[in-house]
Amino acid sequence: MKSEQQVVNFGRRAFIRNSWMISVGFMGLKYFSGMPAQASSGPRLYDRYGPLVTDPQGIFNLPRGFAYKIISRSGEPMDDGFLSPGRNDAMAAFANPDGKVVVVRNHEVSVDDVKNGPFGKANVLLDRLSPLQIYDRGHGKKPSLGGTTTFLFNEDTQRMGYLF
């Protein structure tokens, strides 16, 4: 038993020693990478695009020469009869064999944030969904509102296709 204890202690000591050495090594990377020591002492990476221009619509400020296009809004009806949720926090895009792009959006919507959920005010659309198709129905009162939506985007026409 004593030998096992020694191995564990050695393992912990070695872990702490190695962690310290790795931390010191990463601190030295800044010196060797040629990056300025302080973030304010040189141009930031995104400064190469120029200052942000105030968007007259108040939606998204971008550098001069950049543009955006809104292809979906929270609360709009989707093709499956539910509403497009809000609180998008991540997306993934995949090439589709027909040349379109499949986009999957993640929505982090809490159970009390029904205005950003897919079921409308007071979750009136919840009954359209089978209990077998929802991860956490919340006993029919407070369902889990987060999840993903998927749509097809046609790069040639710059239009969104099927949204569910």
pLDDT digits (tens, 9 = 90+) for 73-104: 999 999 999 999 999 889 999 999 988 999 99
**Rounded Cα gap, residues 14 and 71, in angstroms:** 54
Residues 1-13 pLDDT 10s: 444 444 444 565 5
Residue with tokens 């400064």: 47
Query: What are 38's two structure tokens?
Result: 């302080």
Tokens at 50, concatenated: 């120029």
Cβ pair 63, 142 in contact under 8 A:
no
Strands (DSSP E) found in 20-70: 52-53, 62-63
DSSP state of 38: S
Half-sphere exposure of 139 (CA within 13 A, CB side): 0
Average pLDDT, the chain: 80
Element containing residue 17 per DSSP (H, E): helix 2-33
CB 103 within 8 A of CB 95: no
Q: What tens digit of pLDDT does each residue of 20-60 get?
A: 555 655 555 555 555 555 545 555 666 788 999 999 999 99
More confident residue, 150 or 41: 150
Percent of the chain with pLDDT over 70: 71
115 phi, psi to nearest 5 deg? -65, -20
Write out the two tokens for 55: 């968007």
Mean pLDDT of 55-69: 93
Q: Output DSSP code: residue 85.
A: P
Kindly calculate the radius of gyration of the chain based on its CA atoms and give it in whole angstroms.
Answer: 25
Count of residues in the chain: 164
- Which helix (H) or strand (E) element contains residue 23? helix 2-33
